A and B are shown apart, each in its own frame.
Chain A
Amino acid sequence: MATQHSRSAARVMISPAVLLLLAWMLIPLGMTLYFSFQRYNLLMPGAHPWVGLMNYKLFIQNPAFWTALINTLLLVGGVLIATVVLGVLLAILLDQPMWGQGIVRILVIAPFFVMPTVSALVWKNLFMNPVNGLFAWLLPKLGMAPYDFLTQAPLASITFIVSWQWLPFATLILLTAIQSLDSEQMEAAEMDGASALSRFWYITLPHLSRAITVVVLIQTIFLLSVFAEILVTTNGGPGNASTNLTYLVYARSLLNFDVGGGSAGGVIAIILANIVAIFLMRAIGKNLDA
């Protein structure tokens, strides 16, 4: 397949995608970089004086930055852990023989189709609202004190909402992976005297590792830029308790209309995202080859 002809054809064929993405990355990125060195507030037209690294300095010195950084990691990590752990358990459950498996699958998959804005609105208003939400009614019934989720545990609540949206994705991939496990391997383990738990631990889980990496990679890409859920539910608050980097950049550039500061934040967010990306790519690159 590797003739000169096909190689040059390949180059031609791949170039539209590469060029478009390159443009998509470089042009806005270049502009962002350019703006990040200016004092540029949308509300104050006129000259945009060059201010060097001041925007970066202000962005990093802002205590909200560190909170946002930690929140970002907590949110991504929390959702990943929740979806992978629950996803594995759920996938195993769904793999068991049962009645109405198809319907259960449909029920489980549904949250994946819900727009983030809608799901945030629904959770915030119909469920987590401390006065009118369903939880406000349910908790006292269960003998618990009413709890104001979005105020008292804003980040955890958002993590929960986002996990709900992504659990189907994880479950589905893991379920397919489980179903692809060679049944002879399971039988061999059984003949080898492994209990159900040992089989899960020594056979199923390692078999899933590749699927888990894919889940982690894809979800991370989307989770790093979680935004709508925060905007709709808590606006990043109270305080900065649920502000992630994306939201912080949003707040700077679109609530304060400080394009310079926002751009600096954007550049920082891009750098951080790429650090995470490199880590992940390394890991997954290895796992995808194996």
Chain B
Amino acid sequence: MARAVTPQRKAINTIAAWIIGLLIFFPILWTILTSFKTEAAAVAFPPQFLNFDWTFENYTTVQERSSYFRHFWNSVVISLGSTVIGLIIAVPAAWAMAFVPGKQTKNVLMWMLSTKMLPPVGVLIPIYLLFRQFGLLDTRTGLVIVLTLMNLPIIVWMLYTYFREIPVDILEAARMDGASLRKEIIYILTPMAVPGIASTLLLNVILSWNEAFWTLNLTAAKAAPLTAFIASYSSPEGLFYAKLSAASTMAIAPILILGWFSQKQLVRGLTFGAVK
């Protein structure tokens, strides 16, 4: 369909897409802008777009109040940790499902996904008791465990759809060439699936980063990630829009930037085999 698109048509597309894109993005933009305003300017009517006195005061206040970097570091450790461990468990499982499919494979996969439908609130108290029992409360280890289990079904599914696209021939060739199962996975499967693994990794980092129920309920101070950081701004006294915006910006910025930079991988991985 390489017929010429008239410039008018392209211009209309462009304008429409940009308007919609900006509308969708606007709340985030507005939050970022607000974070640079004084509290008074933040609630001023009519709203001030760029014509306000920019200030970094909110960021300093927020940083003074809670040590952002510790929360940030917890978030990094927890989300990366759970994703990496999840991958280590999921790669063999996905290998088995993709390359040695049995009659039950599909059912096992669907069952795995259905465990994600367990409403977390329903099992908080049992988990809390277990965690207390094993001394996992307020530890990063504890959160890594929970988030790994939470996201494992998704990781398995994503890897499974990815692996299915890898021709069996190549694994068989490796086998003929004398590779053991372990070597087959390490030297052939994993390197070939790098794009898929990367996008799985990304999506799960994002999901873990944003997970707000378990991270909030199973931590106190030591292991609390950014979700807990944000929770302390949810309803403070007095005017707080600017401070809230600053805290929000700080909480979402890392993942937003990561997401933007790795957009392509993410999009490819997200398709869950929906696109053949």
Question: Is B121 within 8 A of A273, CB to CB?
Answer: no
Q: Which residues of A contact B273 (CB under 8 A)?
A: 214, 288
State whether the Cβ of A203 lies closer than 8 Å to any Cβ in chain B.
no
When the two chains form the complex, which single residue of B123, B241, B245, B251 contacts A32, counting CB atoms closer than 8 Å? B123
When the two chains form the complex, which single residue of B181, B206, B234, B275 contacts A117, counting CB atoms closer than 8 Å? B234
When the two chains form the complex, which single residue of B10, B14, B119, B275 contacts A225, counting CB atoms closer than 8 Å? B119
Question: Is B24 within 8 A of A14, CB to CB?
Answer: no
When the two chains form the complex, which single residue of A21, A28, A117, A126 contacts B245, counting CB atoms closer than 8 Å? A126
Q: Which residues of B contact A211 (CB under 8 A)?
A: 271, 274-275
State whether the Cβ of B191 lies closer than 8 Å to any Cβ in chain A.
no
Question: Is B152 within 8 A of A164, CB to CB?
Answer: no
A250-287 at interface with B (beta carbon < 8 Å): 250, 253-254, 259, 262-263, 265-267, 269-270, 273-274, 276-277, 281, 285
Question: Is A265 within 8 A of B117, CB to CB?
Answer: no
State whether the Cβ of B259 lies closer than 8 Å to any Cβ in chain A.
yes
Question: Is A266 within 8 A of B123, CB to CB?
Answer: yes
State whether the Cβ of B93 lies closer than 8 Å to any Cβ in chain A.
yes
Question: Is A24 within 8 A of B115, CB to CB?
Answer: yes
State whether the Cβ of A218 lies closer than 8 Å to any Cβ in chain B.
yes
Task: Please measure, in the bound complex, the distance between the C-alpha atom of A161 and the C-alpha atom of B85, giving whole angstroms.
Answer: 32
Question: Is A111 within 8 A of B47, CB to CB?
Answer: no
Q: Which residues of B contact A98 (CB under 8 A)?
A: 10, 13-14, 17
Interface stretch (choices B28-36, B52-60, B62-70): B28-36
Question: Is B92 within 8 A of A107, CB to CB?
Answer: no
Task: Please measure, in the bound complex, the distance between the C-alpha atom of A109 and the C-alpha atom of B256, giving whole angstroms.
Answer: 9
Question: Is A108 within 8 A of B24, CB to CB?
Answer: yes
When the two chains form the complex, which single residue of A17, A100, A190, A265 contacts B14, counting CB atoms closer than 8 Å? A100
| Interface size of A as a range | 35 or more
Task: Please measure, in the bound complex, the distance between the C-alpha atom of A190 and the C-alpha atom of B3, giving whole angstroms.
Answer: 13
State whether the Cβ of B114 lies closer than 8 Å to any Cβ in chain A.
yes
Provide the B109-122 mask, 1 if CB < 8 A to any CB of A, else 0. Answer: 01011111111111
Q: Which residues of B contact A11 (CB under 8 A)?
A: 96
A275 to chain B, nearest CB (A): 10
Determine chain A's interface SS by DSSP, over half rule: helix
Question: Is B28 within 8 A of A110, CB to CB?
Answer: yes
Task: Please measure, in the bound complex, the distance between the C-alpha atom of A47 and the C-alpha atom of B272, giving whole angstroms.
Answer: 48
Q: Which residues of B contact A101 (CB under 8 A)?
A: 17
Question: Is A112 within 8 A of B259, CB to CB?
Answer: yes
| Interface size of B as a range | 35 or more
Question: Is A214 within 8 A of B92, CB to CB?
Answer: no
Question: Is A137 within 8 A of B114, CB to CB?
Answer: no
By beta carbon, the residue of chain A nearest B100 is: A10
Task: Please measure, in the bound complex, the distance between the C-alpha atom of A25 and the C-alpha atom of B116, giving whole angstroms.
Answer: 9
Task: Please measure, in the bound complex, the distance between the C-alpha atom of A179 and the C-alpha atom of B46, giving whole angstroms.
Answer: 43
Task: Please measure, in the bound complex, the distance between the C-alpha atom of A93 and the C-alpha atom of B16, giving whole angstroms.
Answer: 8
Task: Please measure, in the bound complex, the distance between the C-alpha atom of A31 and the C-alpha atom of B125, giving whole angstroms.
Answer: 9
The answer to whether residues A31 and B31 also contact, given A97-B13, A273-B118 and a CB cut-off of 8 A, is no
State whether the Cβ of A145 lies closer than 8 Å to any Cβ in chain B.
no
Task: Please measure, in the bound complex, the distance between the C-alpha atom of A196 and the C-alpha atom of B144, giving whole angstroms.
Answer: 50
Partner-B contacts on A (CB < 8 A): 1-2, 6-7, 9-11, 13-14, 16-18, 20-21, 24-25, 27-29, 31-32, 35, 42, 90, 93-94, 96-101, 103-119, 121-123, 125-127, 132, 134, 137, 164, 167-169, 172-173, 175-177, 180, 183, 186-187, 190, 210-211, 213-215, 217-218, 221, 224-225, 227-228, 232, 245-247, 249-250, 253-254, 259, 262-263, 265-267, 269-270, 273-274, 276-277, 281, 285, 288-289
Known: A6-B99, A112-B206, A228-B213. 12 other contacts (CB 8 A): A6-B100, A96-B17, A99-B14, A104-B18, A109-B267, A117-B230, A118-B252, A167-B24, A175-B267, A183-B1, A187-B1, A246-B120
A/B interface sample: 24 pairs, CB < 8 A:
A1-B100, A1-B172, A7-B102, A17-B152, A21-B153, A31-B125, A99-B14, A100-B14, A107-B25, A109-B263, A111-B28, A112-B259, A113-B252, A116-B212, A117-B227, A134-B47, A167-B24, A168-B24, A176-B271, A180-B276, A214-B271, A228-B212, A249-B119, A266-B121
Partner-A contacts on B (CB < 8 A): 1, 5, 9-10, 13-14, 16-18, 20-22, 24-25, 27-28, 30-31, 34, 43, 45-47, 89-90, 92-93, 95-97, 99-100, 102, 106, 108, 110, 112-127, 129-130, 149, 152-154, 156, 168, 171-172, 181, 206, 209-210, 212-213, 226-227, 230-231, 233-234, 241, 244-245, 248, 251-252, 255-256, 258-260, 263, 266-268, 270-276
